[in-house]
Structure formats: structure tokens, C-alpha cells
Amino acid sequence: MVFIAAELTMIVTSVLVLLPFAVRDPSLAEGGPLPPAPLLTMLVAPPVAAALVAVAGTALFGGGARLGRVSRELAWRWSRRDTAWGLGIGALGLAITLPAGAVWASLVGTDNAESAVGEVFNGAHLSIGVGLAAFVGVWLIAPLCEEVLFRGVLWRALERWRWNRWVIFAATTVVFSIAHLELLRTPLLLVLAIPIGLARLFTGNLLAGVVAHQVNNFLPAVALLFSTTGMLGF
């Protein structure tokens, strides 16, 4: 229930963020270009709101003693070793995900292979400050929030049902891919999610999955920064 509430929060927040701007400028509801303020808010607010609901729900309804409940239930703990595992698996994962992305783009076409974030920011011209904020959002904030939902709350819920850990890995990978609501990119998202899930599986630590996810998102975040701010002539 906590996971579903968090997912619904993400959808509702997306609508609520866009609604005032769409009322002011009806062309936005028809796919018109978004100005920088709603662009950045749409990027950051929905996942942050969903993660806050997930953490609050875990604190209220999670099992065991209240002290340390959130970190225990989400399997979050600081560990240099697990951070290194996340970095290593994330980096090794790029050897799979980058070629997979190239193959996918060649199959469906470059325009169709673009992510939802890429489509929203396509053609946007941002200041350096807003561009850097979007970079941080894609690289650090979105992966953290998404991992709290999928390989934190959802993973723990499936553990409570006593599912095999490899089945949990597979299930959360599939749900992660579908929940992005990018039907055409779902097969590619499945591939991208594999190293992230493996980092969580092998270490038993959500932190490792977060780090692996952030490694995966670093290059797209850099590309977004350069393309929207004109840095390096992009």
C-alpha cells in the first residue's frame, strides 16, 4: 500500500505542478514548450514527493521497533564497501547499457529512443544555474527517490511475502521499467535496470543500488546539461 500511495503521489504531483502553468498558457496542455520553472519543477517535485510519502509510510506502518525503522525497513546503511560495489557494478553496467542504448536507437530511430526527460527538455534553453539544477536532479535526486520506491519499499514488501530474492530482483526490475510509463522504451529500461537491481541484490544495501543508478544517470545528466545550456557548443 505504501508503494502504491507513493506512485499515485508522483502522478498527482506531476499534474498539480503542470496545471497552473497550463491554465495560464493553454498551449502547454497541447504540447507546447515549457518555460524553465515548470521544467525544473516537473523534473524534481514528483519523485521527491513520492519518496517522502514512501519514507513517511515506512515510518508509520513498517515493522519492528520505531527507532531506526526507516533505515532498517529500506535496508539503507552507510558502508564504504557497498558504495564501492555500487560504483563498480554501475560502471560495469555501462558496458552493457551504452551498447544496448545504441542498438535500441538504431532500431527505433533516434527521436523515438529519447527518454521522457529528453523529450521534455528538447529544444529548451536554460541558464547555467537552472541547467546545473536539472543536472543534479537527473544525476543524484531522481535515482535516490526512485530507488527508495522500487528497491526500497517495493523490495521490502515482496520480502515480507517471502518471495525468493531473485524473483524479487526480477519483479522490481520489471515494475521499475513499466512504471516509467514509456512504452516504447520499456525493453531498454529493463536492460538499464539490471545492474541497479544486482547492486541491491548482491549487497543487501539500498545504498549500493542508489549509487549504481546514479552512475547510470551521470552521462545522460551531462548530455542534458550541455544540450540545454549550450556548453561546449552543444
Q: How far apart are CA 34 and CA 42, in angstroms?
A: 10
Q: At what angle do helices 165-179 and 186-203 cross, to 10 degrees?
A: 140
pLDDT at 29 over 60: no
At 197 the pLDDT is: 97
CB 231 within 8 A of CB 126: no
Amino acid of residue 194: I
- Burial class from Cβ neighbours inside 10 Å (0-12, 13-18, 19+) for residue 63 reads exposed
Look up residue 182 and give its three cell numbers. Answer: 514509456
Report helix angle 36-61 to 128-136, nearest 10: 30
Going by pLDDT thresholds of 50, 70 and 90, the confidence category of residue 219 is very high
Predicted confidence (pLDDT) per residue in 126-158, tens digit: 889 999 999 999 999 999 999 999 999 999 999
Residue 9, classified by CB atoms within 10 Å of its CB into exposed (0-12), middle (13-18) or buried (19+), is buried
How many other CB atoms are found less than 10 A from the CB of residue 80? 7
The pLDDT value recorded for residue 164 is 97
Q: CA–CA separation, 112 vs 136, rounded Å?
A: 25
Low-confidence winner among 21-30, 97-106, 118-127, 190-199 (lowest mean pLDDT): 21-30
The Cβ of residue 57 has, within 10 Å, a number of other Cβ atoms equal to 20
> What are the two backbone dihedrals, phi and then psi, of residue 208, each rounded to the nearest 5 degrees?
-65, -40
* pTM, 2 dp: 0.92
Contacts of 34 (CB under 8 A, 6+ apart): 21, 28, 42, 120, 124
pLDDT at 26: 67
Q: Using one digit for the tens of pLDDT, what is the confidence trace for 189-200?
A: 999 999 999 999
pLDDT band at 39 (very low <50, low <70, confident <90, very high): confident
Q: Which residue has the cell 521544467?
A: 39
Chain segment 66-96, per-residue pLDDT in tens: 999 999 999 999 999 999 999 999 999 999 8
Residue 151: DSSP 8-state? I
Per-domain boundaries in the chain: 2-233
* Cα 12 off chain centre by: 17
160 grid coordinates: 515480507
